[in-house]
Amino acid sequence: MLMILSTATIIIFISIIVMLIASLLSKKSFYDREKNSPFECGFDPKCSARIPFSLHFFLIAIIFLIFDVEIALLLPVIIIMKYSSMLIWLSTTAFFLFILLVGLYHEWNQGALEWTN
């Protein structure tokens, strides 16, 4: 118990030291308008350097990532089938697929899957 407590204390102490050193080294001492502005052949930019992107495209990308992670969670279900009883496996898999289908229906119902309005 004493060894675990001393190891945890050392890890916390090292983490605090690393965070303090990183915060001290990452501070900028001065902010210059010219250095912070985007460079366009030596002239001031006429428009914003940041191009706005479609929020709808961003939402589609987030939905894709969510369902991609859910597919990665579905892959081990077949391997788990060997190690659990059929009733528990079937109920767990059906419940998980039901949650996925409810989420997909909700996104479809809200119109998030429509590419154009």
pLDDT of amino acid 30: 62
Tokens 């052949």 found at: 41
Q: How far apart are the first and last CA of the chain?
A: 62
The arrangement of secondary structure in 2-110, i.e. its CATH architecture, is Up-down Bundle (1.20)
Share of the chain above pLDDT 70, in %: 74
**What digits encode the pLDDT tens for the residues 4-16?**
999 999 999 999 9
pLDDT of amino acid 82: 86
Q: Is residue 76 pLDDT above 70, yes or no? A: yes
Q: Is residue 33 pLDDT above 90, yes or no? A: no
Q: Which of 100, 110, 94 is nearest to 60 (CA)?
A: 110
Dihedrals phi, psi of 60, to nearest 5 degrees: -60, -40
pTM over 0.75: no
pLDDT of amino acid 9: 94
Crossing angle of helices 55-74 and 86-110, rounded to 10°: 170
Tokens 């914003």 found at: 48
Q: Where are the domains of the chain?
A: 2-110
Mean pLDDT confidence for 62-87:
86
